[in-house]
């Protein structure tokens, strides 16, 4: 049977953990050759080993998405190794500081923006020529429910995810003529190392924090990395060939209220 992303090659940023890891495993299971990229070499190599053990094809590249030289070099290496780049999942992101806007330093603001916004820009910039060459491509940008509505916390994160939402729509328009689709995904809270770290740092303690997070989702609990990976798979596959500039909300009803 034909798998859902057979014959395709994918680059996933921040693929060593959490949502990126789940997307890497699922795309590989569904036939894609996967470039697992991350700052964290050890966890990234583990993801590759897991894919290979399941019979899939993957390779690890060390990639800091905020470093343009690094991005350019890795995309050129991936294209040489795999022959093309059909799918880019701009997943790498950080939560940043959680304090009111007037207490945030310019440095703290810029550090988050360099990864959550500039990183998405740089990876998009350097993947486009490869996608134009083969007249096909799907770029999937991880925004958030925090790119749709406010929550009175994490100010730089909200700003960054709002930017990613509109960068996706605008790039969808610029590259539609090249048959390159660009969409954003908007997860509710997903239990990953990122959210575990927020829980650990919370004044009320991790358990109360998790219970409170669960209660914010009408479906009764936070999501799992696979819940998002299945959305990424859909947008990566040709099943979504008429979908571009769309925002795929996967949030247990968080933003329906
Ligand atoms: P995570 O923290 O569990 O994993 C993120 C991965 O990105 C890590 O392996 C980390 O090493 C890597 N990374 C960080 N900075 C990097 C950089 N400059 N270059 C390359 N890799 C880098 O995060 P999680 O939760 O899996 O989040 C993935 C994406 O989904 C992020 O963009 C996040 O903002 C977004 N998201 C997550 C939600 C959640 O509740 N977990 C909700 C909505 C969106």
Enter the pTM of the model. Answer: 0.98
What are the pLDDT digits (tens) for 209-219? 999 999 999 99
What are the pLDDT digits (tens) for 2-39? 899 999 999 999 999 999 999 999 999 999 999 999 99
Contacting residues for 59 by C-beta, under 8 A, at least 6 apart: 34, 35, 36, 48, 81
Q: How far is residue 144's CA from residue 184's CA, in Å, rounded to a whole number?
A: 9
Q: Which of 18, 26, 46 to mutate to test ligand 1, by most ligand atoms within 8 A of the CB atom?
A: 18
Structure tokens at 254: 């968080």
- 157 a catalytic residue: yes
Its sign, for the CA torsion 190, 194, 196, 201, is: negative
Ligand 1 neighbours by CB, cut-off 6 Å: 13-14, 16-20, 38-40, 63-66, 91-94, 115, 119, 142, 144, 187, 189-190, 192-195
Q: How far is residue 13's CA from residue 227's CA, in Å, rounded to a whole number?
A: 18
pLDDT score of 1 more than 90: no
Structure tokens at 145: 């429910």
What are the pLDDT digits (tens) for 111-135? 999 999 999 999 999 999 999 999 9
Structure tokens at 184: 């954003």
CA of 72 to the centre of ligand 1 (A): 21
How large a percentage of the chain has pLDDT more than 90?
99
Tell me which of 157, 175, 230, 254 is the catalytic residue.
157
Residue whose tokens read 């924090």? 209
Q: Which of 37, 74, 93 to mutate to test ligand 1, by most ligand atoms within 8 A of the CB atom?
A: 93
pLDDT score of 197 more than 90: yes
- 185 touches 23 (CB < 8 A): no
What are the pLDDT digits (tens) for 73-113? 999 999 999 999 999 999 999 999 999 999 999 999 999 99
Q: How far is residue 233's CA from residue 38's CA, in Å, rounded to a whole number?
A: 20
What is the residue-averaged pLDDT of the chain? 98
């Amino acid at each position: 049977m034909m798998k859902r992303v057979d014959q395709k090659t994918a680059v996933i940023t921040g693929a060593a953990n959490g949502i990126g890891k789940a997307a890497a495993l699922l795309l590989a299971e569904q036939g894609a050759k996967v470039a697992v990229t991350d700052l964290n070499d050890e966890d990234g190599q583990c993801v590759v080993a897991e894919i290979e053990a399941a019979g899939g094809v993957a390779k690890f590249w060390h990639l800091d998405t905020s470093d343009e030289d690094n991005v350019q070099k890795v995309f050129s290496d991936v294209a040489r190794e795999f022959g093309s780049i059909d799918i880019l999942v701009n997943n790498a992101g950080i939560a940043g500081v959680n304090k009111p806007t007037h207490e945030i330093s310019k440095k703290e603001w810029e550090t988050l923006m360099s990864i959550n916004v500039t990183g998405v820009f740089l990876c998009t910039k350097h993947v486009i020529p490869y996608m134009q060459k083969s007249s096909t491509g799907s770029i999937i940008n991880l925004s958030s429910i925090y790119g749709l509505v406010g929550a009175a916390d994490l100010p730089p994160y909200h700003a960054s995810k709002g930017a990613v939402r509109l960068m996706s729509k605008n790039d969808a328009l610029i590259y539609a003529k090249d048959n390159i689709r660009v969409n954003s995904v908007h997860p509710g809270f997903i239990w990953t190392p990122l959210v575990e770290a927020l829980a650990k740092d919370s004044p009320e303690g991790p358990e109360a924090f998790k219970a409170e997070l669960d209660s914010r989702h009408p479906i009764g609990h936070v999501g799992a990395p696979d819940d998002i990976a299945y959305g990424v798979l859909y947008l990566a596959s040709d099943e979504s060939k008429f979908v571009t500039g769309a925002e795929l909300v996967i949030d247990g009803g968080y933003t329906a209220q």
